[in-house]
């Protein structure tokens, strides 16, 4: 096989410096005027790359970049777990589902009508969630759209809360049975240990 010939030596490197206006100053280790003329390249001083100056103060990216187009498709649907948004539909005062939604104009927080009215009636004239001052009941306004949203997602709130209470009661009963079974197992193991000690003695 024939050996690869070594590359030929390149001409001396040319140092280029640019001022604020983008004008380049060339200095070469050779006195050849042709090399000096070829080395007078106007590079953009504000760019990280060796690019020419088309508009002072702008890079090629700034000049030729296009704004991103908004992707809009009405047929696209995003699926979100309901438990992620569960806190948005619960009243911070009673911790239940919001009923007859009232929104505070000063901070746009939502509460049940009865809950926020009772809070203001007892003399707490501030938002229970952010503590902003609420001057009077005139700061409340109904939010029927939010009520319709809750209705469309959860349906009948009364039946939903009844179902959740039954599920909580079943879970508590199951946990209590587990506790009782563990206690009975502990008592049985202790009784067996006492009987074993008596037989050994």
- pLDDT reported for residue 32: 55
- pLDDT reported for residue 7: 43
- pLDDT reported for residue 111: 93
- pLDDT reported for residue 180: 65
The owner of tokens 């569960």 is 86
CATH of 83-154, one of 3.20.20.80, 1.10.1060.10, 3.30.40.10, 3.10.450.50: 3.30.40.10
Strands 110-111 vs 140-142: parallel, antiparallel or unpaired = unpaired
Residue that wins the pLDDT comparison between 179 and 49 = 49
For the chain, the structural domain boundaries read 14-64, 83-154
Q: Of 79-83, 158-162, 168-172, 181-185, which range is least confident?
A: 181-185
3-state secondary structure of 133: strand
Global pTM reads 0.46
Q: For the segment 55-101, what is each residue's pLDDT rounded down to a tens digit?
A: 888 888 888 888 888 777 778 777 777 777 888 888 889 888 888 99
- pLDDT reported for residue 166: 85
Q: For the segment 6-49, what is each residue's pLDDT rounded down to a tens digit?
A: 444 343 333 344 444 444 444 444 455 554 444 555 788 888 88
The CA distance from 96 to 87, in Å, is 10
The CA distance from 152 to 175, in Å, is 34
Question: Are the C-beta atoms of 113 and 143 separated by less than 8 Å?
Answer: no
- pLDDT reported for residue 50: 85
Q: For the segment 112-165, what is each residue's pLDDT rounded down to a tens digit?
A: 998 988 888 888 888 888 888 888 888 899 999 998 988 888 888 888 888 888
């Amino acid at each position: 096989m024939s050996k690869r010939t070594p590359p030929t030596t390149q001409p001396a490197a040319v140092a280029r410096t640019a001022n604020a206006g983008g004008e380049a100053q060339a200095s070469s280790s050779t006195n050849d005027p042709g090399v000096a003329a070829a080395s007078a390249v106007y590079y953009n001083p504000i760019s990280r790359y060796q690019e020419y100056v088309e508009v002072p103060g702008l890079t090629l990216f700034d000049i030729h970049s296009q704004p991103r187009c908004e992707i809009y498709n009405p047929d696209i649907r995003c699926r979100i777990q309901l438990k992620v948004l569960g806190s948005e539909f619960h009243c911070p005062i009673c911790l239940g589902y919001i009923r007859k939604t009232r929104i505070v104009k000063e901070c746009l927080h939502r509460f049940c009508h009865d809950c926020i009215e009772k809070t203001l009636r007892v003399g707490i004239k501030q938002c229970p969630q952010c503590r902003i001052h609420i001057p009077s009941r005139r700061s409340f306004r109904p939010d029927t759209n939010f009520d319709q949203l809750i209705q469309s997602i959860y349906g009948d709130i009364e039946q939903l809360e009844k179902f959740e209470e039954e599920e909580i009661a079943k879970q508590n009963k199951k946990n209590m049975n587990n506790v009782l079974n563990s206690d009975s197992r502990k008592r049985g193991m202790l009784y067996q240990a006492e009987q074993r000690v008596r037989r050994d003695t």
